[in-house]
Amino acid sequence: MAGIGFVLRDLVRRDDLLGVARAYGHSTVISCAPWLFTVLTLAALTLLGPRFTTMDKAMLFRLLIIYNFAFSLVLTAPLLHTATRVFSDSIYRRSVEPTVTHLILLLIAGYGSGIVFAAPFYVFVADLAPGVAVAAVVNYMLVCGIWAVSIFLSAIKDYRTVTMSFLFGLAISFIGCLGLASAYGTSGMLWGFSLGLILLQASLIARILSEFPSVLVSPGEIWREYRQYPIIALGALAYGLGIWIDKWIMWFAPERHKMAGGLIFYPDYDGAMFLAFMTTIPAFAVFTLTAETDFFERYYDYHQGIRRHASLDRIKTTERAVASTLLGAFRNIAVIQGTVTALAILLAPQIISVFGVTTLQISMFRIAALGAYFHVMFMFTTVNLAYFDQQATNLRLHASFLLANALFTWGAAQLGFRFYGYGYFLASLTAFALSATAMAQALTRMRYLTFVTGGSRVKRSR
């Protein structure tokens, strides 16, 4: 699924500053767009929203967006991660006819989860006004649609359309929220935000339909492929829960807030965590642009040599090249992201003041930024382990992160405010240590994984 990275890498090789800037800009949008879209919108509306409506209505809007992104990610992750693998398989087989059917089924499932989960929650559990509840359910469904569409973006070579779609959608969401806030309050802000999602989703769906054959296949045939990967689905569920479990635990901290409608959250903790994860944007850009693409090429050469019955010495040479490329890529990401993280920690007061949040968040932001550093390295390691088809290993790693994040965060919450954020940091550090060990073992056992377990397959998506 590294396809678009090769196109972007060609911009870098133009050997001019504009090409490099464009490449990293497009890479940032493609790798981080859904959550970056949300964080930037919420940050801007946190600053400007109270000028157009009351603080309570603006805060309720922010909370509903957070709820929708959190629960949509967790509930759709098993299906979407499995779909990513099935889509990757079809690219590997050079048979992309089922792509449109994949997309339709994923959209139906995402929208359906809104009816099954979001509607009962907002209508019967949360005490919301009917207009706000309806707008929240629609927004949840659209967010699910964005997750569904996003898994196909890395296979599209038209990076300009993808980037412009997200920027246009972001602008419409921002303008729509502010434009409808004064007259319609929270429901107006939700509909304004959803308008941007509708236009974004329509644009990306149109681009996917133009990229892949408009051929419909039997849903039963696709379902049979999905059933091959129950471990991936379980790992994805653990992945989604692991990302959000610390926030949910902290929503029950003594400092939490309770909004009208009975919805709870902890804005200081949530804001610090979201802002900290924004510091990982450079790492995502570098990974998409160079790390995954370079690794893929070496990994593909390794398997091509095996298929062509290369000598043992030749196989060992390409095997060393795979390991060397991967370690070099991770070294580069570690240095770049480490520099950004160090600057974020040193400049925390200035960063906090720019985004208009409270000084109480400085300590949480600092430790969260360090946790985000190890978290993103953990995520990249599990992505590369997927190339070796280490499904069970990734399941154990994601489950370990989920368990560690829950236990450490609960422990930090018991110790008091000074320790808020340390649970996430310790969980990320533990997860990265475990994943790095697993990756080292995979690199030293490449021939065993290839010839004995038969687990490692190349996903050629260039």
DSSP 276-319: HHHTTHHHHHHIIIIIHHHHHHHHHHHHHHHHTT--HHHHHHHH
Both 206 and 352 in a single domain?
A: no
Question: Is 111 among the domain residues?
Answer: yes
**pLDDT category of residue 398 using cuts at 50, 70 and 90:** very high
Question: Is 101 among the domain residues?
Answer: yes
- Residue 13, pLDDT > 70, answer no
Both 203 and 337 in a single domain?
A: no
**pLDDT category of residue 432 using cuts at 50, 70 and 90:** very high
Both 352 and 443 in a single domain?
A: yes
Mean pLDDT of 45-49: 69
Mean pLDDT of 133-141: 95
What is the structure's pLDDT at 183?
86
Q: What is the total residue count of the chain?
A: 462
- Residue 93, pLDDT > 50, answer yes
What is the structure's pLDDT at 181?
87
Which of these ranges, 16-30, 102-116, 344-358, 387-401, has the smallest mean pLDDT? 16-30
What is the structure's pLDDT at 431?
97
222 against 419, higher pLDDT: 419
For the packed helices 55-92 and 267-278, what is the interaxial angle rounded to 10 degrees?
Answer: 40
Both 287 and 223 in a single domain?
A: no
419 against 87, higher pLDDT: 419
What is the structure's pLDDT at 356?
61
- Residue 65, pLDDT > 80, answer yes
The label of the residue with tokens 């062509």 reads 308
Both 343 and 422 in a single domain?
A: yes
What is the structure's pLDDT at 29?
64
Structural domains in the chain (count):
2
Both 161 and 286 in a single domain?
A: no
- Residue 292, pLDDT > 50, answer yes
Q: At CA 287, angle to CA 284 and CA 289, rounded to 5? A: 105
Q: What end-to-end distance do the CA atoms of the chain give, in Å?
A: 8
Both 295 and 350 in a single domain?
A: yes
pTM for the full predicted model = 0.86
Both 24 and 86 in a single domain?
A: yes
What is d(CA 259, CA 59) in angstroms, rounded to the nearest whole number?
8
420 against 9, higher pLDDT: 420
Both 75 and 215 in a single domain?
A: yes
Both 80 and 182 in a single domain?
A: yes
For 130, the domain range is 3-228
